[in-house]
Chains A and B, each alone.
Chain A
Amino acid sequence: MMLSGWGRFPRQACAVARPRDEDELRALVARGGAIARGNGRSYGDSAMSQANTVDMTAFDRMIAFDPQSGQLVVEAGVLLADVITSFLPRGWFPAVVPGTKHVTIGGMVAADVHGKNHHGEGSFGNFVDWLDVMGADGIVRRASRDAKPELFAWTIGSMGLGGVVLRVAFRLRPVETALVRQTTIPCPDLNAAIDSIEAHQCATYSVAWIDCLASGAALGRSLVMLGEHAARAELPVGDRHHALNVAARRQLPFPVDPPASLVNGLSVRAFNALYFRVHSRKAPTRLVDWDGFFFPLDAVRDWNRLYGRKGFAQFQCALPLAAARTGLRQLLEVISAAGSGSFLAVLKRFAPQESRFSFPMEGFTLALDFPATARSLALMSRLDDIVLAHGGRFYLAKDSRMTAATLAASDDRVVAFRRMRQESGNAAAFASAQSERLEL
Chain B
Amino acid sequence: MSDGPVLILGARSDIGLAVAHRFAAAGHPIQLAARVAATLERDRTDIALRHDVAVTVHEFDALATESHAAFVDALPELPEVAVCAVGRLGEETESERDVTAAVLVMRSNYEGPASVMGELANRFESRGSGTLIGISSVAGERGRATNYVYGSAKAGFTAFLSGLRNRLAGKGVHVITVLPGFVATRMTAGMDLPQALTTSPAEVAQRIFAATRHRRDIVYVKPVWRLVMLGIRLIPESIFKKTSI
Q: Name the one of A61, A82, A89, A90 contacting B43, with C-beta atoms under 8 angstroms.
A: A61
Q: Does A404 contact B (CB under 8 A)?
A: no
Distance between B43 CB and nearest chain A CB, rounded to angstroms: 7
Whether B51 lies near A63 (C-beta < 8 A) is no
With A86-B51, A86-B52, A90-B52 as given contacts, are A61 and B186 in contact (CB-CB < 8 Å)? no
Distance between B16 CB and nearest chain A CB, rounded to angstroms: 15
Whether B45 lies near A86 (C-beta < 8 A) is no
Whether B52 lies near A61 (C-beta < 8 A) is no
Q: How far is the CA of A111 from the CA of B43 in the complex (A)?
A: 28
Q: Does A175 contact B (CB under 8 A)?
A: no
User: Of residues 31 to 76 in A, which have CB atoms within 8 Å of B's CB atoms?
Assistant: 60-65
User: Of residues 27 to 45 in B, which have CB atoms within 8 Å of A's CB atoms?
Assistant: 42-43, 45
Which label, helix, strand, loop or mixed, suits the secondary structure of the A interface? mixed
Distance between B53 CB and nearest chain A CB, rounded to angstroms: 11
Whether B51 lies near A61 (C-beta < 8 A) is no
Q: Does A148 contact B (CB under 8 A)?
A: no
With A65-B49, A90-B52 as given contacts, are A20 and B186 in contact (CB-CB < 8 Å)? yes
Distance between B202 CB and nearest chain A CB, rounded to angstroms: 12
Whether B186 lies near A62 (C-beta < 8 A) is no
Whether B46 lies near A63 (C-beta < 8 A) is yes
B49 contact set on A, CB distance < 8 A: 62-65, 86
User: Please, which residue of chain A has its CB at the minimum distance from the CB of B42?
Assistant: A61
User: Please, which residue of chain A has its CB at the minimum distance from the CB of B186?
Assistant: A20
Binary per-residue interface labels of chain B (45-63) against chain A in the complex, 1 for a CB within 8 Å, 0 otherwise? 1100111100000000000
Q: How far is the CA of A60 from the CA of B51 in the complex (A)?
A: 14
A65 contact set on B, CB distance < 8 A: 49
Q: How far is the CA of A64 from the CA of B50 in the complex (A)?
A: 10
Q: How far is the CA of A100 from the CA of B15 in the complex (A)?
A: 28
Distance between B165 CB and nearest chain A CB, rounded to angstroms: 35
Q: How far is the CA of A63 from the CA of B43 in the complex (A)?
A: 9
Number of interface residues of A (CB under 8 A): 11
Inter-chain contact total with CB atoms closer than 8 Å: 24
B46 contact set on A, CB distance < 8 A: 60-63
Distance between A56 CB and nearest chain B CB, rounded to angstroms: 15
Q: Which of A64, A86, A90 is most buried by chain B, counting CB atoms within 10 A of its CB?
A: A86
User: Please, which residue of chain B has its CB at the minimum distance from the CB of A65?
Assistant: B49
Q: How far is the CA of A410 from the CA of B204 in the complex (A)?
A: 50
A89 contact set on B, CB distance < 8 A: 52
Q: Name the one of B42, B43, B50, B186 contacting A86, with C-beta atoms under 8 angstroms.
A: B50
Q: How far is the CA of A61 from the CA of B50 in the complex (A)?
A: 9
A82 contact set on B, CB distance < 8 A: 50
Q: How far is the CA of A167 from the CA of B42 in the complex (A)?
A: 13
A90 contact set on B, CB distance < 8 A: 52
Q: How far is the CA of A62 from the CA of B43 in the complex (A)?
A: 8
Q: How far is the CA of A393 from the CA of B43 in the complex (A)?
A: 42
Distance between A25 CB and nearest chain B CB, rounded to angstroms: 15
Whether A62 lies near B52 (C-beta < 8 A) is no
Q: Which of B42, B49, B51, B52 is most buried by chain A, counting CB atoms within 10 A of its CB?
A: B49
User: Please, which residue of chain A has its CB at the minimum distance from the CB of B25?
Assistant: A85
A61 contact set on B, CB distance < 8 A: 42-43, 45-46
User: Please, which residue of chain A has its CB at the minimum distance from the CB of B51?
Assistant: A86
User: Please, which residue of chain B has its CB at the minimum distance from the CB of A82?
Assistant: B50
User: Please, which residue of chain B has its CB at the minimum distance from the CB of A86?
Assistant: B50
User: Of residues 220 to 274 in A, which have CB atoms within 8 Å of B's CB atoms?
Assistant: none
Q: Which of A60, A62, A89 is most buried by chain B, counting CB atoms within 10 A of its CB?
A: A62
User: Please, which residue of chain A has its CB at the minimum distance from the CB of B50?
Assistant: A86
B43 contact set on A, CB distance < 8 A: 61
Q: Name the one of B45, B51, B52 contacting A64, with C-beta atoms under 8 angstroms.
A: B45
Q: How far is the CA of A105 from the CA of B238 in the complex (A)?
A: 57
User: Of residues 1 to 26 in A, which have CB atoms within 8 Å of B's CB atoms?
Assistant: 20
Binding site for B on A (CB under 8 A): 20, 60-65, 82, 86, 89-90
Q: Can you name 8 A-B residue pairings with CB atoms under 8 Å? A: A60-B46, A61-B42, A63-B46, A63-B49, A64-B45, A65-B49, A86-B52, A89-B52
Kindly list 7 other residue pairs between chains A and B, CB separation below 8 angstroms, not including A61-B45, A86-B49, A86-B50.
A60-B46, A64-B45, A65-B49, A82-B50, A86-B52, A89-B52, A90-B52
